[in-house]
Amino acid sequence: MLVFSVTAAALFTPTAPAQAASLYGIKAVAVAASKKGAPYVYGATGPGEFDCSGLTLYAFRAAGRVLPRTAEAQYESTDHISRTERAPGDLVFFPTGGTMGHVGIYAGQNKIWHAPRPGTRVRLERIWTGTVRYSRAN
């Protein structure tokens, strides 16, 4: 059982009405934040190493919502929303070609928690492109 010692409010400043955010997503932000510094390992799903979709899968599972394994499957299994509807805890997808090549968890203030790529660690980072898609795991 996870115990959250950090309040959701301490992790982000909402940019959308609180009622719009998924309760699973808000908890998932806290879980992802607790994994700050964990190394990226391709195919890893935690608890100490992650790839991008492994981090989102782990964080949402800990929050009580099961997601599929890959970024593409996560995108297909969640409710797509617009940028103006995004709220902390929503998923942020980065398209690559015809598929979703990367995913992170929106933390508010145009930042995501994610496991970027080999050689990096889980971190909070500003969204670096406008070519993203958003979804909500209700």
Q: How confident is residue 16, by pLDDT bands cut at 50, 70 and 90?
A: very low
Identify the band that residue 22 occupies on the pLDDT scale cut at 50, 70 and 90. confident
CATH topology assigned to domain 18-136: endopeptidase fold (from Nostoc punctiforme) (3.90.1720)
**Would residue 52 show up in a list of annotated catalytic residues for this protein?**
yes
- Catalytic-labelled residue, pool 8, 26, 33, 52: 52
| Type of residue numbered 130 | G
Which tens digits make up the pLDDT trace of 42-90? Answer: 999 999 999 999 999 999 999 999 999 999 999 999 999 999 999 999 9
Q: What is the pTM of this model?
A: 0.86
Residue 38 in this model has a pLDDT that exceeds 70: yes
Whether a cis peptide bond, with omega within 30° of 0, leads into 116 is: no
Catalytic hit among 27, 35, 65, 102: 102
Report the candidate in 17, 35, 15, 27 with the shortest Cα–Cα distance to residue 89.
27
